[in-house]
Structure 1
Amino acid sequence: MNVLQWLEVWYSRQCDGDWEHSQVVSITTLDNPGWSVDIFLGGTELEDKGFELLNIDRSDLDWVYGKVSDNIFQGRGGVNNLEEILQIFQQWAMLNED
């Protein structure tokens, strides 16, 4: 299963008739260029789980930044790093879900 399919399954498992009505998963572009991924964790098994700040800077176009703040996973990355951002979330989620 690729990371996008995994995210679809993870998202569907969280849907409880209420959670999905919030702004829960947002994937947008940045103007530098790059990607922004925000995933709301409130009401999930990942709520209040620790996430170690991640900052990988390979070049101006190849970088990844990740943190959890206010129960939101916030991943940012360069123009070719969207899949890597999602994989970072996937790996962390799989390690921290009950």
Structure 2
Amino acid sequence: MTSNLEWLQKFYLSLCDGEWEHGYGFTIDNCDNPGWLFKFELTDTVYEQFAGPEISLGEHQLEEGHDWVVLKREGTSIKGACGPLKLDALLGEFRGWIGNVDAALESERSLSAQN
């Protein structure tokens, strides 16, 4: 099984079509409490039409502690934040959401092919 970071790299590349990557993409940055910030733009992808995740795990991000992950849909982006040792967990939650959307898309294709 590939790591979440390897998966993210391959997922990003799969969306690059010569145009999308010039206006959209994703960012990973650090924040000062300490931790990580994540944003993935869904505009002009098949994922844009799907409701995003609403995930809040561990300690609340505004409290003391490092054990937290938040991931949610904001407009056309999936945005997340996490404690300094939880970046892999945050990427795993994003990966899981994309996997669920991919499964729904595959199910739609299968039903369309049967009709």
Q: TM-score range by the shorter chain?
A: over 0.9
Aligned counterpart, 1:81:
86
Question: Structure 2: which 5+ residue stretches go unaligned?
Answer: 106-115
* CA RMSD in angstroms, aligned pairs only: 1.3
1:34 aligns with 2:35: yes
Q: Tell me which of the two structures has the higher relative contact order, counting C-alpha pairs closer than 8 angstroms and 6 or more residues apart.
A: 1
- Measure, in 2, the Cα distance between the counterparts of 1:51 and 1:39: 11
Structure number, greater radius of gyration: 2
Distance apart, 1:15 and its partner CA: 0.5
Deviation at 1:51, TM superposition (A): 2.1
List, as ranges, runs of 4+ consecutive aligned residues in structure 1 with deviation greater than 3 Å. Answer: none
| Partner SS state of residue 47, structure 1 | helix
Q: Which has the higher strand share?
A: 1
Distance in 2 (CA, whole Å) between partners of 1:23 and 1:85 is: 20
TM-score of the aligned structures, taking structure 1 as reference length: 0.92
In 1, the alpha carbon distance for the partners of 2:48 and 2:24 equals 15
Write 1 or 2 for the structure with the bigger share of helix: 2
The size of the alignment, in residue pairs, is 98
TM-score, normalized by length of structure 2?
Answer: 0.79
Structure 1: distance between partners of 2:53 and 2:38: 17
- Give the equivalent residue in structure 2 for 1:65: 70
CA offset digits 1:19-73 (Å, max 9, x no partner) = 1012411000000000000000111121121124211233621101110111101
Where 2:65 maps in the other structure, the secondary structure is coil
